[in-house]
Amino acid sequence: MLPVHDGTGPQRRASIQWSAAMIVECPHCGANYPVDEKEFAGASKLKGQCKQCHSSFVINAPAELPQLPAEPTVALAVIEGPARGQVFRLSKARTILGRSGADVVLRDPEVSRKHCAIEVHGSTATLSDLGTTNGTFVSAKRIQSCELEHLSKFRIGATTLLFTVTDNKPGESEPPPTLVVRSRRS
Ligand SMILES: [Zn+2]
């Protein structure tokens, strides 16, 4: 299976450093997958196959491909809520999430100004609620503090976030376990 090119997308770029996950939703069964943007290799579209329902579908590349260093990536992807589809790379040891004045700003009226904190240590992280009214939830359970690992989900306000860890060391990177995406390598 080869990527589809429609000729209308952005020109192939010489070097794309960005390699964090974006979120793709299967149009047939609604399953969400993180997809590594480097799989696009400059193409505007890719064909993917859903591991859950085995249907094929086309994935559009995001309009902008930010330039970021290819280091191990710890990121938060918004999978539900007003900022759905956004991915925030966690570059600090401690990151505050909130509605304003936070490191990661979520324009969700149910989120507190400073809602929760994520402390990254290696490939896991600790999520802590900052004494909010609306709370921080993991698996529908309100938590004060909780460990996160790759593909952990949590909810604040109307926003559900997916915690992802991508190891970008040469020769050691693997595709996300839940999605088959063919790049244009032949
Ligand atoms: Zn599917």
Q: What is the pLDDT of residues 48-68, one digit of tens each?
A: 888 889 998 888 877 655 554
Instruction: For residue 40, give the 3-state DSSP assignment.
Output: helix
Which residues make Cβ contacts (< 8 Å) with residue 71, sequence separation at least 6? Answer: 168
pTM of the model: 0.54
Q: Residue 96 Cα, ligand 1 centroid: separation in angstroms?
A: 33
Q: What is the pLDDT of residues 149-184, one digit of tens each?
A: 999 999 999 999 999 998 765 544 455 545 444 555
Tell me how far apart the alpha carbons of residues 77 and 85 are, in angstroms, rounded to a whole number: 7
Q: Residue 139 Cα, ligand 1 centroid: separation in angstroms?
A: 22
Select from 113, 140, 142, 139 the least CA-distant residue to 128.
Answer: 142
Q: Residue 37 Cα, ligand 1 centroid: separation in angstroms?
A: 19
Q: Residue 127 Cα, ligand 1 centroid: separation in angstroms?
A: 30
Q: Residue 33 Cα, ligand 1 centroid: separation in angstroms?
A: 10
Select from 52, 102, 110 the least CA-distant residue to 80.
Answer: 110
